[in-house]
Amino acid sequence: MRKTVPIRTQPEIQSFLKRLREWNQNYYMAALIGIQWGLRCSDILALTVDDVLAGTGKRVQIIDRIEIKEIKTGHERTILITDDMKDELYMHIKGMGKNVNRNCPLVLSRNRNEFGECKPISRQRLWAVLKQVAGELGIKGPIGTHSLRKTWAFQVWQKGVRIDVIQKEFGHASVATTHRYACIPDESRDALYEKINFARTSRRKSTSNRNG
């Protein structure tokens, strides 16, 4: 399988999410969570309605921050839920209907498990839908479920967040790992060295001193 890449531009992300919302609300919400919070597919599909609800009453209230312990690594993250994201989650949960309880997956499959209980959409199906939508929109790939997390990393880097901050948030062992993971172009690394130019000035001063 080819290594997945992030979705790199804002218009592409907006078109991608718009098409997913038209396709199915649950695929849209899965992609939105992945891009907004930088989560792996396994962590997205493990989320329940209860994970984002405040209080214990029937009224839908969304928490301010969500605590995530990543399934793959055990790395713990505290993620701010913005007001816009609260609105998205509120409308999503309200649209799930009265028969959905707090223990149901946040991104629901239309199918039930063998006991007739709610279950999340499958990783394979989500991957297939993301790939198909990206292809329809002409987004260069390969695009898959891991592209969602990579898109978050690439986008926050583009907005000026330092690589070491992204590294800490993801729990990567090194900045180099984060650099490769987020598919940040090598030109950005080269630019670090282009900003420093003492070689020419020091040669100029040396020549000036000899001439004096």
Q: What is the pLDDT of residues 89-122, one digit of tens each?
A: 999 999 988 767 889 999 999 887 777 778 999 9
Domain at 1-212, CATH from 1.10.443.10, 3.30.1330.10, 2.30.30.90, 1.10.30.50: 1.10.443.10
Output the pTM of the full model.
Answer: 0.84
Q: What is the pLDDT of residue 156?
A: 92
pLDDT at 205: 54
Work out the pLDDT band at 200, boundaries 50, 70, 90. low
Decide if 85 contacts 77 (C-beta within 8 A): no
pLDDT at 179: 87
Neighbouring C-beta atoms of residue 40, cutoff 10 Å: 19
Beta bridge partners of 62: 53
Sequence ranges of the domains in the chain: 1-212
- pLDDT tens digits, 77-86: 999 999 999 9
Q: Coil, strand or helix: which one is 91? A: helix
User: Which DSSP helix (H) or strand (E) runs through 120?
Assistant: strand 118-120
pLDDT of residue 104: 93
Assess contact for 46 and 121: CB atoms under 8 A. no
Angle at which helices 25-37 and 10-23 cross, to 10°:
150
The predicted model gives 45-71 an average pLDDT of 91
| Mean pLDDT value across the chain | 88
Query: What pLDDT sits at residue 55?
Result: 78
pLDDT score for 204: 57
For 155-188, how does the pLDDT look when each residue is reduced to its tens digit (9 = 90+)? 999 898 888 899 999 999 998 888 888 888 776 6
Give the pLDDT mean for 192-200: 67
Q: Identify which of 34, 72, 79, 45 has the alpha carbon closest to the alpha carbon of residue 172.
A: 72
Is the model's pLDDT at 16 over the cut of 70?
Answer: yes
pLDDT at site 101: 86
Gyration radius of the chain's alpha carbons: 22
Cα separation of 144 and 194, whole Å? Answer: 35
